[in-house]
Structure 1
């Protein structure tokens, strides 16, 4: 292993060991600052962060290794490669809720800081491994835990003999943050937040022509297909699907950009899913994971979206949806200061309803009926978002598999999980979306390379023996007929036949 690669791997290894040794401290801080349950902290904070670290340790150096590229006939004596080099100082604005004094809150579409540990450490891991320094603008709502989490990375740098000042986190108000996002010494910005705030960040970064990777909200669908031959899916398989849907909807109280926001089910699956979801959602226990062990859904980071959520539910019911349970804020008798929203199930929702179009970012499960595979695809693609998506269906026949792959191919999204939920992120595939969900990718090879200057290098294959020489007729000052010689060069290099290439040679020598 190259000595530089060894040092690059040493830092994430130190962080990995610290996290594994101090899981309880990290979980406690996440629960205190965001209200989530301990299980949500384990899965949404610890698990995905150590996966990113382990992937970076095992595969990061290969992703950044110079890559050989092909040459062509005319340039046979050249050797080409692409290199990925550090940009310098990069920035990350993670889970940014507030936009500006004139745009204080755009709820509920603004992304709350529901993953204070992972969303902060993720950009730090990638920045350090690519040789950059990083400034993280964390959410004002998780300033306390962000300071603790930043100290983990700074401690690893110190332990490895590097300056801890390669990593800084800051908490500030929006009017101050513009100084960061428009600063000419910032070489790249990763933004995780809402669409309205993304416009402001992108406009600010444009002052210095700073590239921005934008990860915005989602309205992810879980499409559940019927078997094309009319067979019923087994009870065991339906239980598995419903369990995954429950985790996808209610993890972190629904505050998950790739959480399941819509369940789109074909007729036979629809009836069974509603029957199975109803008792499970009604049985969910809401409360503080710091005070009780048997809690399923924790508090939300803020109650700013509650009035809008209640309005969306009421409007959907007015248009024909059925409110099975929940639908409003919950005043917890033990924790009256907590921001709790009732776990909610809304059925008979249609894609025209506002609740099926806006990101809810809440513990709300909405179920839509699809009459066919075509209809399911149309519903899944009917929003402005295109972040993640999920499709469930039988695999027992060629026709069933064809339906699964067709939905996978035709859903307009940056990520698709087949018969699963969000596993693309758990395997460090590139993360990002299309349409109103943003642009650019982080995680995986694309994420590391996005934080680098992609440099193309072309050198002589046999230096000192063969190198570029300008043909006499094309040398300055050029002679009469130089254009014909140039055409000959083109035909020699790119002629589609031997005859064309011979004709090119004749033009080059003036025959």
Structure 2
């Protein structure tokens, strides 16, 4: 049994809190069930932590910060080196749990872990990432240099759709830069996140440096308002993300909030047909569409409109089943509530006049009749006023629009309020250069459908998809988790000539 879990008298696993290096049974009276979205099996119960427990976790992080910030950078780096090795060793075990609680295919669950692992690997470069700058003799005998110092207790609030990757975006970089951390995983699928936290402790993260609390809005609000929390990283829905950003900012915290999206893929007629079709269908329906970077809108330009039957034909070949079953392409969505919301949006598309090319509403999966399944769903004839275009569906639904020219496509994408990601499929370098220059979206893919950058760069969603000016990993996150101190110094010896009183602000 994992240390982060416990069994009660009814044998239902209860998820624990992590406070000051100890696994703690919550004293709350409020619990939520963690449910396998394919089978509806109750996997565990997760507590809604009490205010006293949240305070204890933050207090633990505050006490630990005073010693952790003085820990040599090499010692912090070696913990990350061990953590990345442990994640590699246990990735398949974690992926099995992740698939069961979230619904992803095993291959996608392993990909979820791997993309987080890349950030841990990047954290191992902290020796160079946290370097300051130095300029000698900026004035007579005067040197100036900068220090990048940790800011204190930080907090992370993570979503259900990436229970491995997003926590690994957060706590490793915060901790390796010398901060302490309070993590609030998604209450819908915390089990795989807790396995990663256990590996963090095994790697050597000291008591109090990493703490975990569970809960919903009350816990989120407590993190956003507590005076000892200096920075908050959030990934999730636009509604909650806006709330976190506003509340945290009002209470004097740094906040980065990665939120909703409506990602477009623009297809020019000269694009490589096979590559593009595979990319559109994979990015549109993979992970049951539950990715903030999923391709949810296809914009067919000019003669590319003839590709619609090919998209439909390829989507029909996708296999819907439990994520744990071999050969599955699309697993269930996270909950009954999420499924109903997606069904309602599909219904709205039909009622508002879009053409339902492929209907996944009534799909049945043998052996998993109660699962939260929706098959690949495809709309054509979509306009920008329809709900299926204006709202983030977060399900296996792909909508297709048609425009005459590349300029029309750029204008359409730029008019959408979201700015997480966009792709262009073409074999024209001139078209690609025009597109990347004129498109107003933070992350651009050229013949790549999900343009999430590797950790050496930074996640750079924009506009309605992001609040805060620094990204959640890469070079930008080092800035987010540190403050710059500038030191200007001059040293004297006994032979120095006294140059008298200087009443100006200049250095000579």
Which TM-score bucket, shorter chain as reference? 0.7 to 0.9
In the alignment, the residues of structure 1 paired with residue 415 and residue 372 of structure 2 have an alpha-carbon distance, to the nearest angstrom, of 31
Measured against aligned partners, the alpha-carbon deviations of 1:175-206 in whole angstroms (never above 9, x if no partner) come to: 23322221111111001112221233234324
Structure 2 residue aligned with 1:377: 410
Across the two proteins, how many residue pairs are aligned to each other?
Answer: 435
Distance 1:71 1:184, change over 3 A: farther
After TM superposition, the score normalised by the length of structure 1 is 0.79
C-alpha displacement of 1:381: 1.7
Distance 1:463 1:167, change over 3 A: farther
**Does the aligned pair in 2 maintain the 1:351–1:382 contact within 8 Å?**
no
For the pair 1:54 / 2:121, whether they are aligned, the reply is yes
In the alignment, the residues of structure 2 paired with residue 462 and residue 376 of structure 1 have an alpha-carbon distance, to the nearest angstrom, of 65
In the alignment, the residues of structure 2 paired with residue 466 and residue 357 of structure 1 have an alpha-carbon distance, to the nearest angstrom, of 72
C-alpha displacement of 1:116: 0.6
Structure 1 residue aligned with 2:485: 455
Structure 2 residue aligned with 1:85: 149
Structure 1 residue aligned with 2:355: 322
In the alignment, the residues of structure 2 paired with residue 364 and residue 146 of structure 1 have an alpha-carbon distance, to the nearest angstrom, of 28
**Does the aligned pair in 2 maintain the 1:215–1:437 contact within 8 Å?**
yes
1:446-485 → structure 2 map (5 Å cutoff): 446-460=476-490, 471=502, 474=503
Measured against aligned partners, the alpha-carbon deviations of 1:399-450 in whole angstroms (never above 9, x if no partner) come to: x322211211222222112221334433542113222112331111111221
C-alpha displacement of 1:293: 0.5
1:402-481 → structure 2 map (5 Å cutoff): 402-439=430-467, 440-460=470-490, 471=502, 474=503
Structure 2 residue aligned with 1:281: 315
C-alpha displacement of 1:466: 8.7
Between stretches 144-153 and 207-216, larger displacement belongs to 144-153
In the alignment, the residues of structure 1 paired with residue 417 and residue 167 of structure 2 have an alpha-carbon distance, to the nearest angstrom, of 27
After TM superposition, the score normalised by the length of structure 2 is 0.79
**Does the aligned pair in 1 maintain the 2:169–2:472 contact within 8 Å?**
no
1:101-180 → structure 2 map (5 Å cutoff): 113-157=160-204, 162-180=205-223
In the alignment, the residues of structure 2 paired with residue 70 and residue 226 of structure 1 have an alpha-carbon distance, to the nearest angstrom, of 57
1:263-278 → structure 2 map (5 Å cutoff): 263-272=298-307, 274-278=308-312
In the alignment, the residues of structure 2 paired with residue 427 and residue 326 of structure 1 have an alpha-carbon distance, to the nearest angstrom, of 38
Distance 1:269 1:461, change over 3 A: farther
Which of these two proteins has the greater Rg computed from alpha carbons? 1
In the alignment, the residues of structure 1 paired with residue 342 and residue 83 of structure 2 have an alpha-carbon distance, to the nearest angstrom, of 39
Alpha-carbon RMSD across the aligned residues, in angstroms, is: 2.6
In the alignment, the residues of structure 2 paired with residue 364 and residue 71 of structure 1 have an alpha-carbon distance, to the nearest angstrom, of 61
In the alignment, the residues of structure 2 paired with residue 213 and residue 179 of structure 1 have an alpha-carbon distance, to the nearest angstrom, of 17
C-alpha displacement of 1:467: 9.7
Structure 2 residue aligned with 1:186: 229
Structure 2 residue aligned with 1:7: 75
Distance 1:303 1:463, change over 3 A: farther
In the alignment, the residues of structure 1 paired with residue 498 and residue 393 of structure 2 have an alpha-carbon distance, to the nearest angstrom, of 62
**Does the aligned pair in 2 maintain the 1:215–1:432 contact within 8 Å?**
no
C-alpha displacement of 1:388: 1.6
**Does the aligned pair in 2 maintain the 1:300–1:340 contact within 8 Å?**
yes
Query: SS of 2:440's equivalent?
Result: coil
In the alignment, the residues of structure 1 paired with residue 170 and residue 482 of structure 2 have an alpha-carbon distance, to the nearest angstrom, of 13
Structure 2 residue aligned with 1:298: 331
C-alpha displacement of 1:79: 2.8
Structure 2 residue aligned with 1:29: 97
Structure 2 alignment gaps of length 5 or more: 1-70
In the alignment, the residues of structure 2 paired with residue 137 and residue 255 of structure 1 have an alpha-carbon distance, to the nearest angstrom, of 20
C-alpha displacement of 1:352: 2.6
In the alignment, the residues of structure 1 paired with residue 189 and residue 487 of structure 2 have an alpha-carbon distance, to the nearest angstrom, of 44
Measured against aligned partners, the alpha-carbon deviations of 1:256-314 in whole angstroms (never above 9, x if no partner) come to: 01111111121222322x23211111121111132x21211011111323344333333
| Higher share of residues assigned helix | 1
In the alignment, the residues of structure 2 paired with residue 238 and residue 469 of structure 1 have an alpha-carbon distance, to the nearest angstrom, of 77
| Higher share of residues assigned strand | 2
Between stretches 380-389 and 293-302, larger displacement belongs to 380-389
C-alpha displacement of 1:9: 2.2
In the alignment, the residues of structure 1 paired with residue 402 and residue 180 of structure 2 have an alpha-carbon distance, to the nearest angstrom, of 49
Query: SS of 2:418's equivalent?
Result: coil
Structure 2 residue aligned with 1:104: none
In the alignment, the residues of structure 2 paired with residue 177 and residue 91 of structure 1 have an alpha-carbon distance, to the nearest angstrom, of 10
In the alignment, the residues of structure 1 paired with residue 158 and residue 501 of structure 2 have an alpha-carbon distance, to the nearest angstrom, of 53
In the alignment, the residues of structure 1 paired with residue 396 and residue 500 of structure 2 have an alpha-carbon distance, to the nearest angstrom, of 68
Measured against aligned partners, the alpha-carbon deviations of 1:118-168 in whole angstroms (never above 9, x if no partner) come to: 1122211111211111111111111333322211111112xxxx5243112
Query: SS of 1:355's equivalent?
Result: helix
**Does the aligned pair in 1 maintain the 2:297–2:400 contact within 8 Å?**
yes
C-alpha displacement of 1:319: 4.1
Query: SS of 1:414's equivalent?
Result: coil
C-alpha displacement of 1:169: 1.6
**Does the aligned pair in 1 maintain the 2:83–2:199 contact within 8 Å?**
yes
C-alpha displacement of 1:11: 1.4
- Within the candidate set 258, 275, 292, 2:293 is matched to 258
Distance 1:294 1:353, change over 3 A: same
